Amino acid sequence: MDNTFQIAIRDDATSARLGYLQTNHGVIATPVFMPVATQGVFKGGVDSEDARAINAPIILANTYHLYIRGAVPTVKQAGGLHEFMNWDRPILTDSGGFQVWSLGRGARKDALCKIDDDGVTFVSHLDGSVHRFTPEKAMQIQRDLGADIIMAFDEASDESSSYSYTKKAMERTHKWAERCISENSKLKTFTPKAFGARNSKLQLKTKNLPRQLLFGIVQGGRFKRLRIDSAKVISSLDFDGVAIGGESIGFNMKRTAGLLEYLQPCLPKEKPIYAMGVGFSPTDFFTVVERGVDMFDCVAPARLARHGNLYCKDAGARNKYRINIMNAQHKHDFKPVCDWCDCRVCETYTRAYLRHLFKSEEITALRLATIHNLRFMLKVMEEIRAAIKAGEFARLKMEWL
């Protein structure tokens, strides 16, 4: 693959590193947190302008959800997701493999999907219509969406799956990975010009790479031997980066840390490493960054915001750096949510006002809370990158932990 990732600085005491990943819509400084815009929009009423204002370097969109709602042809006609949602920075799309797998959840008799060696047949959770995904189709859909970074089609397995089932799913993932690489090599990078989109407002910020960057996904469930085997196979293939997938990644940070510890020797040293689903708490970032992870995403910051759980540095690690804005103690609290945060919500509104909005069930409450939580997490990442650059990662980690 092309030399699109460069490591600028490595931490002396840990595996933390500062890097730069080149894409068709800009260079991404890593490690990086990617806010999730599932259907080309962020939950909570946050739009692309808001995402730019909070300085999101890259966002993630979901192939399955865009496909199942019939949006892909429209997005393609618009000139790709960047044009469609007026976003001029990098986008990563997942392949839809996890969402399709979750319809079946292993070997359930009432599964909404059926998996075979060629691909997956699944039933829409919206209208009951039947669809088919193959590795090739996943590449084609992501090409039409025009993301800068795309993911190989994989088969996940849940934590309760047997060794034999997990091994079969892993081996299928490896075969599909090779098919994804083959298909991606045949597809030219999507640009507005290539599809004749009119009045394109967005310009590519770096050289036009010959294709989208493609990441493979390590599977293997809860079995160490399978995880190591998968890491070795995926790392040996011609991918631009390697992702760690699976049900427990990000949900169980103790298990995630242990997994990364024994996988690290098997992962490529000069490619970006992506831990899928990490970002529930600011402390989670330190757990994965010190183990060599460069990229991560999570829906939790936005989901927590919609329930009134707002990040606040003063709340401390014991409270996972969160306050519940709907608690009575905030009724007459005229401080910002977080003095440390530089988002426009903290610079403009008080805890009492936000509590009032939530108690009044105003839509604005969701938007302001989401803007705050996303910016908070992005600012944590900015501090982490600055600390690695200055050789102070250990000091910053102690400050947060």
The DSSP code sequence of 22-54 is EETTEEEEESEEE-B-TTSSBTTTB-HHHHHHT
The active-site residue, picked from 94, 144, 240, 333, is: 94
pLDDT at 148: 96
The active-site residue, picked from 148, 158, 229, 297, is: 297
How far is 100 from 115, CA to CA, in rounded Å? Answer: 10
Q: 5-298 falls under which CATH superfamily?
A: Queuine tRNA-ribosyltransferase-like (3.20.20.105)
Active site residue 144: no
pLDDT at 200: 55
Are 273 and 303 spatial neighbours (Cβ–Cβ below 8 Å)? no
Are 326 and 354 spatial neighbours (Cβ–Cβ below 8 Å)? no
pLDDT tens per residue across span 111-129: 677 889 999 998 888 888 8
Active site residue 94: yes
* β-strands 213-218, 5-10 pairing: unpaired
pLDDT at 102: 67
How far is 371 from 344, CA to CA, in rounded Å? Answer: 8
**Domain ranges across the chain:** 5-298, 306-400
Ranges of residues in the chain with a pLDDT under 50 are 106-109, 195-196, 198-199
Backbone conformation region of residue 246, classed left if phi is above 0, alpha if psi is from -120 to 50, else beta: left
